Amino acid sequence: YQNEPNPFNDKTTIGFHLPEATTATFKLFDVTGKVVKVIHGDYTKGYHSITLNRAEIQGQGMLYYQLDTPKDSATKRMLLLD
């Protein structure tokens, strides 16, 4: 799902739904493609969310995030305000 709120300046939450239990990797990229943050985990079937705090993220402006599972991949963008 799209992160909320977007744009954000303090923290944002990214929700995702998995149709089955699986491993998933969340990657956050800056506009140059540099990986800013990676979260890898084993998740159960259903809804999950990841919360990102401003203090965890270097930089500002447009960011991209990608969620990869063995069967699927999704990419979205977000805006981090100064």
pLDDT tens readout for residues 67-80:
999 999 999 999 99
Q: Which amino acid is at 21?
A: A
Contacts of 16 (CB under 8 A, 6+ apart): 1, 24, 47, 48, 49, 50, 67, 74
Instruction: Reply yes or no on whether the pLDDT at 60 is more than 90.
Output: no
Q: Which amino acid is at 13?
A: T
Instruction: Output the pTM of the full model.
Output: 0.90
- Give the pLDDT score at 67: 97
Instruction: Reply yes or no on whether the pLDDT at 59 is more than 80.
Output: no
- Give the pLDDT score at 5: 97
Contacts of 46 (CB under 8 A, 6+ apart): 17, 18
- Give the pLDDT score at 69: 97
pLDDT for 2-43, tens place per residue? 999 999 999 999 999 999 999 999 999 999 999 999 999 999
